[in-house]
Structure 1
Amino acid sequence: MKIRLYIDEDAMAHRLAQELRLRGIDITTALIEGMIKRDDRDQLEYATAQGRVLYSFNVGDYYQRIRLAWL
């Protein structure tokens, strides 16, 4: 199974994306997908719909969202 990543705008590092692509990782970014300035929920829903793992520096926001949804 190939790794599929989606990097949101808070974690976008063009050099990182480029290096991962060179190593065979299927990666896209919020910029490439036209998802800049979208809220966290939209970012997570987009990544999920695309079958991608979301990579973000917004750990606190996502932790709170998941905690509220599951507890």
Structure 2
Amino acid sequence: MILADENIHTYIVESLRDAGFEVISVTELKKGIKDEQVIEWALDNDYLLLTEDRDFGEWVFAHHIKNLSVLFLRYAFYEFKEISQSLIYL
């Protein structure tokens, strides 16, 4: 299951769902929560965290968060359709 951070474009979330992936969106559940809560959700439920937020890399490496799977995306806004297709066929 994938936990999409609130910075992930809605098109990407919907494209993944349409392709059969189970995606939970932070935006849909509880927008504005702290990174610590997002990490807790991901760890408690064994979610892959999909984010554009570099802070999660710091949490993993500097704070030594174990067992957190993070897929960090960097793309220009206009590339969101191409990114969603890349994720589907990853």
Considering the TM-score relative to the shorter chain, is it more than 0.5?
yes
Q: CA-to-partner distance for each residue in 1:37-61, whole Å, 9 max, x for gaps?
A: 11111111112212211111112x1
The one of 3, 26, 30 equivalent to 2:26 is 30
Where do 5+ consecutive residues of structure 1 fail to align? none
Q: Looking at both structures, which has the greater relative contact order when contacts are Cα pairs under 8 Å and sequence separation is at least 6? A: 1
**Cα pair distance change 1:51/1:67, threshold 3 Å:** closer
Backbone CA RMSD of aligned residues: 1.4
Query: Does 1:42 find its partner at 2:34?
Result: no
Where does residue 50 of structure 2 map in the other structure?
55
What's the secondary structure of 2:28's corresponding residue?
coil
TM-score by length of 2: 0.62
Where do 5+ consecutive residues of structure 2 fail to align? 65-90
Where does residue 6 of structure 1 map in the other structure?
3
Q: Which 4+ residue blocks in structure 1 deviate beyond 4 angstroms? A: none
How many correspondences in the alignment? 64
